[in-house]
Chain A
């Protein structure tokens, strides 16, 4: 909260600031393995998948071929749950049929029509690995002679009670609505959440600040404002940032996550805030010898027309 206020202060104070682009020193450190893997339970869970890439030294531009080179191939990836080991198989979208590609890319948040890049990930092609609430999932990766481990749990679902849209005062934003949500915290234990929005069946996008915890609201019901992760399109009022346009259909993806997953997200979101009043934040991942996260989601979807 304080940081957000100071982002604003930075904005106010340094309207007249001047910036010059520069090329920082390029680190010669060897790249790190980067893990991005999720396993879901709840409403319409996505299949568990793991994307393996390599970190890049500072670059100016990355074209599609260089982008494709980010992916780490031929790794041995397994997920273990209750003693059962599920091997994940590497799949690249270019190797799939158009129909398979469409299904998978959409479910993973890409637009299949405009997706030109080849995206590779590791997936349980037997679809035996089904995320369950309250379960623990251990990820093990063997790649380029190194082992990497991570653990996540899919926490209990603490759902949104309801949502509604509210008008804003004045004429300026009369075509937009603010999203209000109601949530009741169970009161026992710790809960963490993250949300995404999709407008008119677009991909799910999380806003810049997409996470919550129950530190303040333990055991109570709270009404709060949620932002649209989808940024205003060109030509739309920039002041409508975070708002929802009348007539659009919102699909809200509300998820419960565990502490390690929350810590990763929180440090990642804070690290994106830069300015004179913020020092750097090192992103706190949960995978050994690697960057990134292996996270469980317990998912709730709410669809509603903006009115």
Chain B
């Protein structure tokens, strides 16, 4: 029996078995939304106050469904940062109950205590953190730019790709092993300005979920993590204009109802202007025409046709544009790159227990660079483009079961580095052709509340991935037609997580996951660059494989004021890809020609304590971990990766003095980054060259930094429609010299027979203050 047939059989069995629960119960279902804006609340809890095991939470569209035996119940609906709602209902028939929650003030004295704010302890998911944009906005931001990806770097198990970078590594995984989704569309390059800012404009973002390890079966395609970002739907009750003027960029968001309570829109844009401001000065120099900027544009429309049908259309378009001109040398470079995504989604309720979302998804990342000198022009372009669709079912047959199943298909087009040179008359190209792939999957999972204390989430995902034509094999010479399969891969990915409650405030969780990755991004740099090329698994490139085991202890204190966890993990990865140590890029050939394959392992412990309520909120995250790789072509011994950090500490804190003043602080400490030291110098061509020692066998200085911020909201008690606030942030407050990279300078005077060699640690960001003015207008 093939893998696919086995999968279908299991899929069927689960469904049949679960229908047994569909008897002798009535169903309460509906949507949970924000009272003021109509935004759906993702992950809101709804449960029986007398028996919390009889509970559920909303899915990514704010829908919940709870099937219980007939009876009279006291339900509680809760969502962090919102006031709880309690209601008593007699369940003697299927009922629809839509709930609107009011935002609660964070101050301790007015927060309604909620026993269900303990998902940390009672959910089965491990290594999962949800962050609302409001929470992210209160943390000091680099150059005043609020950034979801930089905030998740402050969580244990997540390492920053480097000083100021929005790139990140999760539990020892590479930068290409993170699945970054924006409204279900994959974002292939999540960084602006060489990664110093992420492409996600916080004003347009509702929710960010990071899954560090035990990704549910509905997610696939990456080994290490999922960052699932949902855009706001747009206020469907009132018109709102929000924006800000900052040191780096300005932002403007407009949202409002198209038809009150039924449909809404949101448009959000941001653009940098630092170089625009200095253009008058640049114009007078030899560099006239030189400029750099980036911009983002998010748009979303939604329309609720009926209680059962809801349509969403959302899109993102963002670009970085760099122009460099040297008039005196008649030299110019233009370097634009960026992402575009579009998602069309249709929510449909088949029954009050069966929710389905169907999505059509398009996404594109393209990079190009054009340089010219006199009549010579060179250009390189690359990218990846997907067209796909997926159907996801949420089935709530019984309060003890939440079954999710679905299928997905994507057609990928990978454009390698297509390079061309023209000398004004002739054009020379490397003639590299795009590669294509079918990417299909089916999955099923069931979250089973076996007893009040024991919950199991079991899932299975089946993948079919195939390199496809048009393609001519360089190995066999065979030519493949459009869509014809060149090299297929079929794999099953089991997922398991389980929770055993020790008491109301503590639990133990265990998770196991095995997964595959069919697309790869290998960089010659220490992080990743916009020019790095995504490469498909093919007849040349084998897929990456990974497995992870994790075990955690979760405990909440003081009626969930504090949540704490200790998670340990062990992860092993096969078919890890890198370049050889003597790799130099050759635009005439495909990058995969030079790939080398090895294995990786990472293990560690993550401590996390978070205070969610009160004037003082924040968290402390500490990770003790070790991450290594082994390649036959790199001496054949395990070596630490550049992002192997033995100790990694983040302390994040905000304090609200009153409704006008708030301060925030972030302190980070990390073991120095691993780098490859110079073993010796050798003489050649009348100068000295560097011979390197074992890969990553030395450490740069430890990294530490303190950021502070102050937010002032004048007239915060005013009932005026227009409100504004000032935010002053200081990055690297005590001006720590954190080495970013090491460089060497060698000088040799052969005539006198003398030489000097100097080594430098280079840091890039000293103390950087930034001020941002934010405003909000509401009709």
A289 on interface, CB distance cutoff 8 Å? no
B774 on interface, CB distance cutoff 8 Å? no
Shortest Cβ distance from B379 into A: residue: A1
User: Which among B3-11, B482-490, B755-763 touches the partner chain?
Assistant: B755-763
Within 8 A of B (CB), among A193-250: 206, 213, 215-217, 220-225, 239
Q: Which of B374, B585, B686, B688 contacts A2 (CB 8 A)?
A: B585
Structural contact, A225 and B751, CB atoms closer than 8 A: no
Docked complex Cα distance between A89 and B761 (Å):
44
Contact with B along A265-307 (1 / 0, CB 8 A): 0111011101111111111100000011100000000000000
Structural contact, A29 and B693, CB atoms closer than 8 A: yes
Closest Cβ of chain B: how far from A17's Cβ, in Å?
Answer: 5
Closest Cβ of chain A: how far from B459's Cβ, in Å?
Answer: 38
Structural contact, A216 and B587, CB atoms closer than 8 A: yes
Within 8 A of B (CB), among A47-76: 51, 53, 55-64, 67-68, 70
Docked complex Cα distance between A57 and B752 (Å):
21
Shortest Cβ distance from A217 into B: residue: B428
Within 8 A of B (CB), among A93-138: 109-111, 114-119
Structural contact, B525 and A60, CB atoms closer than 8 A: no
Shortest Cβ distance from B690 into A: residue: A271
Cβ of A36: which chain B residues have Cβ within 8 Å of it?
683-685
Cβ of B682: which chain A residues have Cβ within 8 Å of it?
32, 34, 53, 55-56, 291-292
Docked complex Cα distance between A116 and B752 (Å):
5
Closest Cβ of chain B: how far from A293's Cβ, in Å?
Answer: 7
A186 on interface, CB distance cutoff 8 Å? no
Structural contact, B698 and A8, CB atoms closer than 8 A: no
Cβ of A60: which chain B residues have Cβ within 8 Å of it?
756-758
How many chain B residues sit at the interface, stated as a range, is 35 or more
Docked complex Cα distance between A254 and B588 (Å):
22
Q: Which of A27, A216, A268 contacts B429 (CB 8 A)?
A: A216
Structural contact, B743 and A275, CB atoms closer than 8 A: yes
Within 8 A of A (CB), among B574-593: 581-589
Contact with B along A1-14 (1 / 0, CB 8 A): 11101101100111
Docked complex Cα distance between A38 and B740 (Å):
39
Contacts A19-B761, A29-B693, A62-B754; A178 near B374 (Cβ below 8 A): yes
B350 on interface, CB distance cutoff 8 Å? no
Structural contact, A172 and B286, CB atoms closer than 8 A: yes
Structural contact, B330 and A14, CB atoms closer than 8 A: no
B259 on interface, CB distance cutoff 8 Å? no
Contacts A59-B757, A276-B764; A239 near B525 (Cβ below 8 A): no
A23 on interface, CB distance cutoff 8 Å? yes
Docked complex Cα distance between A22 and B761 (Å):
7
User: Which among A77-85, A141-149, A152-160, A162-170 touches the partner chain?
Assistant: A162-170
Contact with B along A159-190 (1 / 0, CB 8 A): 00000001011101100001000000000000
Shortest Cβ distance from A267 into B: residue: B582
Within 8 A of A (CB), among B659-709: 676-686, 688-693, 698
Most buried by A among B681, B683, B741, B744: B683
Cβ of B770: which chain A residues have Cβ within 8 Å of it?
none
Cβ of A29: which chain B residues have Cβ within 8 Å of it?
679-680, 693
Structural contact, B698 and A64, CB atoms closer than 8 A: no
Structural contact, B753 and A67, CB atoms closer than 8 A: yes
Structural contact, B754 and A64, CB atoms closer than 8 A: yes
Structural contact, A284 and B582, CB atoms closer than 8 A: yes
Contacts A6-B531, A8-B333, A27-B677; A282 near B684 (Cβ below 8 A): no
B426 on interface, CB distance cutoff 8 Å? yes
Shortest Cβ distance from A265 into B: residue: B685
Closest Cβ of chain A: how far from B80's Cβ, in Å?
Answer: 38
Cβ of B744: which chain A residues have Cβ within 8 Å of it?
274
Cβ of A9: which chain B residues have Cβ within 8 Å of it?
194, 322, 335
Structural contact, A283 and B426, CB atoms closer than 8 A: no
Cβ of B762: which chain A residues have Cβ within 8 Å of it?
14, 17-19, 276
Contacts A17-B762, A18-B766, A216-B430; A276 near B757 (Cβ below 8 A): no
Q: Which of A3, A32, A225 contacts B376 (CB 8 A)?
A: A225
Structural contact, B754 and A168, CB atoms closer than 8 A: no
Docked complex Cα distance between A220 and B162 (Å):
44
B304 on interface, CB distance cutoff 8 Å? no
Structural contact, A173 and B380, CB atoms closer than 8 A: no
Shortest Cβ distance from B684 into A: residue: A36
Q: Which of A12, A22, A213, A220 contacts B324 (CB 8 A)?
A: A12
Shortest Cβ distance from A180 into B: residue: B374
Docked complex Cα distance between A295 and B631 (Å):
30
Cβ of B324: which chain A residues have Cβ within 8 Å of it?
8, 12
Closest Cβ of chain B: how far from A238's Cβ, in Å?
Answer: 11
Structural contact, B525 and A277, CB atoms closer than 8 A: yes
Measured CB to CB, the residues of A under 8 A from B are 1-3, 5-6, 8-9, 12-14, 16-25, 27, 29, 31-32, 34, 36, 51, 53, 55-64, 67-68, 70, 109-111, 114-119, 166, 168-170, 172-173, 178, 206, 213, 215-217, 220-225, 239, 263, 266-268, 270-272, 274-284, 291-293
- 9 A-B pairs with CB atoms under 8 Å apart are A5-B531, A8-B333, A12-B322, A14-B764, A53-B682, A268-B684, A271-B690, A277-B525, A291-B691
- Sort A-B residue pairs by CB-CB distance and give the 9 closest, nearest first: A117-B753, A215-B588, A64-B753, A55-B680, A282-B581, A284-B582, A67-B753, A19-B760, A62-B755
In the complex, besides A282-B691, A291-B691, 20 extra interface pairs with C-beta distance below 8 angstroms are A3-B524, A13-B194, A18-B737, A18-B764, A23-B759, A24-B678, A32-B691, A36-B684, A58-B678, A58-B759, A64-B753, A67-B754, A117-B752, A168-B329, A169-B330, A170-B327, A220-B428, A274-B743, A276-B740, A277-B526
